[in-house]
Structure 1
């Protein structure tokens, strides 16, 4: 960050000092020794993203072309002469054997910005602040726990060109926009002015590149030669891009009086259309990182991240119990996904399977009940795919009902036996009592 301020400030100060030096009106074709272009021009590329996302593997390209000359007129008094960056009479090749045209050399002069998952990041968002007096933009950051950014320095090397006249040579810098869905591109145009001044001594005619200034917008006016802040637009040498990403959550729930709440179920997630080398973090805060053999699963470990090694597809397999979930974070906007539960195992064990999708429901195909598969052709919001397995068992009440008449008959028979047994016992008791009474009377 400090390098950015120092670099841009130095360019501005150098140009401002140079602007106070009068330029001699030297005709084209003079005997100046051609001055090689500078290889020390730097601008910056910032990439903002969600705090939970990994830095994507992405390369940004830029296009540098010659700008237009600004004609000198009486009305332009007090202005520096501006020449096209490929002016045929004033701009040449440093190497006469170079087979490229001047325009091709200019196009090749700008570098690229390549980001990778291993890049360091800073928490917060990037903001441009303009000084009202100098029109110099500085980069500041705002606190934002939900965001972070990475940045790269990009060079412009004009050393394969030569300049043979004093003046300001103008170039136009833009970012190439290939239309990647997960990137918001910076479509601003930058104007780069290269200051070439007379540095002759008493013994030789000599040119010198004294500074460069980069402006916002495509400038059509010439800068002032007064040494004060000129009337052109904001001085700015930074492009800011955003990486758009979303989270995909998969959850598991088991219902029914026969459903196992401690059994693990297998899920496979396939992401298609990702950039090779991208790394995606998997949040296991609501799942087990390691698990033991249980039900239909062997002991294993759930991955905490996945990456592409080749091609544009990532596959991850994870296991969940009822009430658990995992989240794959920072998936590129527009990436297609397929989530599959191992339905063969689930159905073999008597489970019915269904899934509900919330978040991005556009272009979703939900075949969970028949195949265990839920898919989307392009992720465009944070999304949850919630799987529910149900297994019910019915108590065999019919068997109990069929035994009821038998039980009733048995009870009646037993009651009858008891009744007659008691009656017979009483009868015998009475008979015995009567016999004893007769014997007593005879005596």
Structure 2
């Protein structure tokens, strides 16, 4: 092969490579349909016993930096308005919800190709706005988004491809917030009932009223067992609403889930200190039967004990003691009298 032939082949190869490179930004509309929206997924993870939070999440878009070589492409800094985040994603708990380890909802970001002056790959960064909802760790790490802007057959520019990265890895545009799954910010408290004493009735039911003062609109899972062997009943209570009544007996329990640090629970045994029972809460006597508190850890227990013992009756013994003594003395005198008579 002479130099002239080799040069022709080299030139052809170079032209082919240039065409392949140019094809990245010059695909026809038939090959790539215009993309006008970018899907965004929002996920909140829990311990599986917590309702979804009553809050909304918002996002913002910044123009990313240019790069000389990103996945074999020259990348331009984003142009303002190429991607806009106008939607917020709202979560709202409902008593009809099925409790889950994760709750997800979707939104869309708007893509506008009209802001670009020429074809190319443009870099953006999408970030979740940091919030202040108690118990949530916000996922505020930015996601890199690359828009591939092409020349259309009619000469108009359009976005024909989008690549999303998180720490350099391709993937869907998703933000995940921890709400008690790993960060241990949601907790439970259990009210336990014990009946003691020689006159305590083990199967007697006692009424308990429970309320939680927490974030507005929050729901809390409640599991009630009338006694240790009874079937567990799962219900829920709403924050800042009227007390809910439950009936439990000896070894029974009421467990409230999904409590964050400042959520205040209030428990009242309406039958405390009645019908001869003496009521204590965590070993302390109580006049009202009410316990109010917060918890920062799982497995918190509030122990209610109702004790009833028979009083020692001494009045009867004192009343008849003289007669008993007289009868005893008479018996002793009679025994001596008859013994002497035989003699």
Alignment size in residue pairs: 310
Shift of 1:373: 1.7
Residue pair 2:25, 2:148 contacting (<8 A) in 1 also: no
Q: Does 1:258 align with 2:199?
A: yes
CA contact (8 A) 1:354 1:387 kept: yes
Aligned to 2:275: 349
Correspondence for 1:208 among 158, 161, 178: 158
**2:46 counterpart of 1:49:** yes
Q: Which whole-Å deviations, capped at 9, do the CAs of 1:76-130 have from their partners, x for residues lacking one?
A: 9x6424133317xxx6xxxxxxxxxxxxx9342x4425364455677xxxxxxxx
CA gap 1:187/1:69 in 2 versus in 1, 3 angstroms: closer
Tell me: CA distance 1:20–1:406, structure 2 relative to 1, closer, same or farther (3 Å).
farther
Distance 2:324 2:302 in 1: 53
Structure 1 equivalent of residue 257 of structure 2: 329
Counterpart check, 1:80 vs 2:74: yes
Residue 278 of structure 2 contacts residue 307 of structure 2 at CA under 8 Å; is this kept in 1? yes
C-alpha distance in 1, partners of 2:137/2:117?
Answer: 41
CA RMSD, 1 decimal: 3.7
TM-score where L is the length of structure 2: 0.74
Instruction: Structure 1 unaligned segments of length 5 or more: list them.
Output: 1-17, 25-36, 92-104, 123-147, 218-232, 291-301, 358-366, 428-443
DSSP-derived class of the 1:416 partner:
helix
Contact 2:149–2:160 (CA under 8 A) maintained in structure 1: yes
Matches within 5 A, 1:270-349: 270-276=211-217, 278=219, 280-284=221-225, 286=227, 304-308=234-238, 312-313=240-241, 315-332=243-260, 334-342=262-270, 345-349=271-275
Residue aligning to 2:178? 242
The answer to whether the aligner puts 1:65 opposite 2:61 as a matched pair is yes
Task: Return the alpha-carbon distance in structure 2 between the equivalents of residues 385 and 111 of structure 1.
Answer: 40
- Once the two structures are TM-superposed, the CA of residue 252 in structure 1 deviates from its matched residue by 0.8
* Partner Cα distance (1:368, 1:415) in 2: 52
Which of 361, 372, 381 does residue 298 from structure 2 map onto? 381
Q: Look up the SS of the partner of 1:44 in the other structure.
A: strand
Per the alignment, in what secondary structure is the counterpart of residue 157 of structure 1?
strand
Point out where structure 2 has 5 or more consecutive residues left out of the alignment. 1-19, 27-33, 181-185
1:186 counterpart residue number? 139
Residue deviations 1:368-410 (CA, integer Å, cap 9, x gap) = 6232222214554331111011222232246436644542332
- Aligned equivalent of 2:6: none
Higher Rg: 1
Change (3 A) 1:395 1:171: same
| Alpha-carbon contact 1:83-1:167 (below 8 Å) kept | no
1:380 and 1:175, CA in 2 relative to 1: closer, same or farther beyond 3 A? farther
TM-score (normalizing by structure 1)? 0.59
| Cα distance in 2 between the residues matched to 1:121 and 1:323 | 26
